Amino acid sequence: KLQLHDGRTAYHFQPAKFWQNDPNGPLYHNGLYHFFYQYNPHGPLWDTGKLSWGHSVSGDLVNWAFLGTAIDPTDPFDVNGCWSGSATVLPGGRPAFLYTGRDAGGVQVQNVSFAKNPLDPLLREWEKPSCNPIIAFPADVINNNFRDPTTAWLGRDGLWRMVVAAEVAGAGSALVYRSADFLRWERNAAPMHSSAAVPVLECPDFFPVAEHGTDGLDTSANGGGTGVKHVLKLSEFDTHQDFYMVGRYDDEGDTFSPEEPDRGDNCRRWRCLDYGQAYAAKSFFDARRNRRVQWLWVNEYDSKADDVAKGWAGVQAFPRKVWLDGDGKQLLQWPVDEIETLRTKRVGLQGTEVKAGGLHEIVGVASSQADVEVVFEIPNLEDEAEGFDPDWLDPHKLCKDKGAASAHGGVGPFGLIVMASGDLQEQTAVFFRVFKHHGKYKVFMCTDLTRSSTKADVYKDAYGGFVDVDIQKDKSISLRTLIDHSMIESFGGGGRACITTRVYPEHAATSSSHLYVFNNGSGTVNVSKLEAWEMATATVNSADALDAIT
Ligand code: DQQ
């Protein structure tokens, strides 16, 4: 049962067949969670002109039923593809989509679509008013880069706002549009943000966060300037990564003032939402549990031929609760707690020393389908941390050059080895290294895929970033890793750094995978606590799922 031969996941969201990419209009409505996503109903590859919005529903964000497509490329204003967008629940409870259509000439325009019957709990039917497109392609936007409207929010003046990503004079920009009726939209002269060094931005997300506590806020919440900050998240096309900035939003001029102006206007220097292969994040306010929940798409990194053979492509990261850290600058991300309903068999460690060069196998759970939480204590941080070379400031390079195998002394690499074959020929390492820099410590986290598979035509990189924690004070660092066949999703420092990646180990087709704690540093680390749960298989978009979830 636990052998999903072609890398299909057991508890992550994926369609039964065909291609999916960006999360589009997540929403909670009348007791059900709805998830919409870029979906090609004709095959397992991305197809510019054929994209629809796939639609699935769930009672718990874990088990999902597929309801077919919500909108398809059928009208002059979207006949070449229904591209990404968002959902907004209008006052009175009627959900609406704002989305990008590629019109008859392939030009990107913005459209609206309304739920036909808001009382239908399944929201099966969507209608597109004839006034579409609601926003034509602007004269000053270039290269057909004008797309991916956000969830709309209300300003104190009663007008709706949305952000659309656009390339204006070579600068990736977040344009603001306002509307009184959701149908006629007018552009604000000044963009909310513009990254001169970054031409193409996609999938913006803009939402309020509470300054204190972990509760989420409705997208229109503003707080009148107190108790609330805002987050601007942008997906950067070239690096295929999501970056965000916390800041102050003023709905008078629709301006956004970054909390960390020293990071500059180039959004690539903002905080990275996920250092791995996740992209196009989109969040929604979950009124049922008073939290903000975020989805992220994770692409395939095997070959197109493999995807055609499998008949499916694309996985979503497990839905994450997001909230503002006490430092007021970074987000914390954590799998929604409903995931714990899937935990079955549990094994644990407590107070286990892992000496230099140590490799400790965790046995007793089927580790290709697991949830692992571990806390590492570093007894001799001061003595053992190696000096930091400013050349290593590029985390990608640092991760590649100083992968899991290189042990040149110091604190780490230590962490987990997951999806390993019995002979360790195939293995994926998720690990930390700690460096000393001007009397302070830098914690680096990495997922090294370079040995993850012996298969040809698989892209195997190493991904990493810095974890913004005070390790001198804590003397420990936590790691949570969700392992799900081809999906490895890791949360460092309580969700301050996330790395989500795909793996394609060949051994998984014929034998079980192994899980280890390892330490390739020069000193001992202590596993003060480790818990690993085997995970049950969720019902995700299978044929009879609607009965199972309702
Ligand atoms: N994917 C969509 C676009 C978006 C891109 C098309 C991001 O709307 O910009 O499938 O992955």
Residue 95: strand pairing partners: 89
Per-residue model confidence (pLDDT) at position 392: 79
Give catalytic residues, as residue numbers.
22
Q: What is the whole-number distance in angstroms between the Cα of residue 40 and the centre of ligand 1?
A: 12
Terminus-to-terminus CA distance in the chain, angstroms?
Answer: 24
Residue 269 tokens, joined? 């220097």
Q: What's the CA dihedral at 286, 39, 509, 277 to 10 degrees?
A: -60
Query: Looking up tokens 């096309």, which residue turns up?
Result: 237
Per-residue model confidence (pLDDT) at position 2: 41
Q: How many other β-carbons are positioned within 10 Å of the β-carbon of residue 475?
A: 15
Per-residue model confidence (pLDDT) at position 396: 82
DSSP 8-state secondary structure symbol assigned to residue 269: G
- Residue of 20, 22, 53 with the most ligand 1 atoms within 8 Å of its CB, for mutation: 22
Q: What is the whole-number distance in angstroms between the Cα of residue 516 and the centre of ligand 1?
A: 37
CB of 83 shorter than 6 A to ligand 1 = yes
CA separation for the pair 535, 483 (Å, rounded): 9
Q: What is the whole-number distance in angstroms between the Cα of residue 22 and the centre of ligand 1?
A: 6
- Residue of 147, 237, 297 with the most ligand 1 atoms within 8 Å of its CB, for mutation: 147
Q: What's the CA dihedral at 481, 482, 487, 491 to 10 degrees?
A: -40
Query: Looking up tokens 């992550």, which residue turns up?
Result: 12
Q: What is the whole-number distance in angstroms between the Cα of residue 324 and the centre of ligand 1?
A: 27
CB of 167 shorter than 6 A to ligand 1 = no
Residue 16 tokens, joined? 């039964």
- Greatest Cα pair distance, the chain, in angstroms, is 70
Q: What is the whole-number distance in angstroms between the Cα of residue 525 and the centre of ligand 1?
A: 43
Per-residue model confidence (pLDDT) at position 296: 98
CB of 148 shorter than 6 A to ligand 1 = yes
CA separation for the pair 224, 128 (Å, rounded): 35
Cα–Cα distances in angstroms (integers) from residue 345 to residues 338, 404, 531, in the given order: 17, 29, 10
CB of 458 shorter than 6 A to ligand 1 = no
Q: Which atom of ligand 1 is nearest to the CA of 148?
A: 8
- Ranges of residues in the chain whose predicted pLDDT is under 50: 1-3
Q: What is the whole-number distance in angstroms between the Cα of residue 83 and the centre of ligand 1?
A: 6
Task: Name the residue at shortest CA distance from atom 6 of ligand 1.
Answer: 83
- Residue of 24, 84, 279 with the most ligand 1 atoms within 8 Å of its CB, for mutation: 84
- The answer to whether 109 and 133 have CB atoms below 8 angstroms apart is yes
Cα–Cα distances in angstroms (integers) from residue 436 to residues 143, 271, 356, 433, in the given order: 45, 21, 19, 10
Please give the CATH topology (third level) of the domain spanning 21-335.
Answer: Tachylectin-2; Chain A (2.115.10)
CB of 241 shorter than 6 A to ligand 1 = no
Provide long-range contacts, Cβ within 8 A and 24+ apart, for 298-304: 298/487, 298/500, 298/501, 298/502, 299/21, 299/502, 300/502, 301/277, 301/458, 301/459, 301/460, 301/501, 301/502, 301/504, 302/7, 302/455, 302/457, 302/458, 302/459, 302/502, 302/504, 303/457, 303/458, 304/45
Please give the CATH topology (third level) of the domain spanning 343-535.
Answer: Jelly Rolls (2.60.120)
CA separation for the pair 170, 141 (Å, rounded): 9
Task: Name the residue at shortest CA distance from atom 9 of ligand 1.
Answer: 202
Per-residue model confidence (pLDDT) at position 550: 66
CB of 22 shorter than 6 A to ligand 1 = yes
CA separation for the pair 395, 194 (Å, rounded): 25
CB of 526 shorter than 6 A to ligand 1 = no
CB of 24 shorter than 6 A to ligand 1 = no
Helix (H) or strand (E) holding 382: helix 381-384
Per-residue model confidence (pLDDT) at position 224: 72
Q: Which of 204, 57, 39, 177 is nearest to 111 (CA)?
A: 177
Q: What is the whole-number distance in angstroms between the Cα of residue 54 and the centre of ligand 1?
A: 14
pLDDT digit string, tens, across residues 283-326: 999 999 999 999 999 999 999 999 999 999 999 999 999 999 99
Residue 52: strand pairing partners: 39
CB of 98 shorter than 6 A to ligand 1 = no
Residue 93 tokens, joined? 């409870």
Q: Which atom of ligand 1 is nearest to the CA of 202?
A: 9
Q: What is the whole-number distance in angstroms between the Cα of residue 147 and the centre of ligand 1?
A: 8
CA separation for the pair 116, 124 (Å, rounded): 8
Residues contacting residue 130 through CB under 8 Å, at least 6 positions apart: none
**ipTM of the complex model:** 0.99
| For the chain, domain boundaries | 21-335, 343-535
Q: What is the whole-number distance in angstroms between the Cα of residue 314 and the centre of ligand 1?
A: 13
CB of 280 shorter than 6 A to ligand 1 = yes
CB of 202 shorter than 6 A to ligand 1 = yes
458 three-class SS: coil
CB of 84 shorter than 6 A to ligand 1 = yes
CB of 86 shorter than 6 A to ligand 1 = no
pLDDT digit string, tens, across residues 82-105: 999 999 999 999 999 999 999 999
Q: Which atom of ligand 1 is nearest to the CA of 100?
A: 8
Q: Which of 100, 121, 103, 72 is nearest to 166 (CA)?
A: 100
CA separation for the pair 524, 547 (Å, rounded): 52
| Prediction pTM value | 0.97
Q: Which atom of ligand 1 is nearest to the CA of 46?
A: 10
158 three-class SS: coil
Q: Which of 299, 85, 270 is nearest to 177 (CA)?
A: 85
Q: How many other β-carbons are positioned within 10 Å of the β-carbon of residue 186?
A: 12
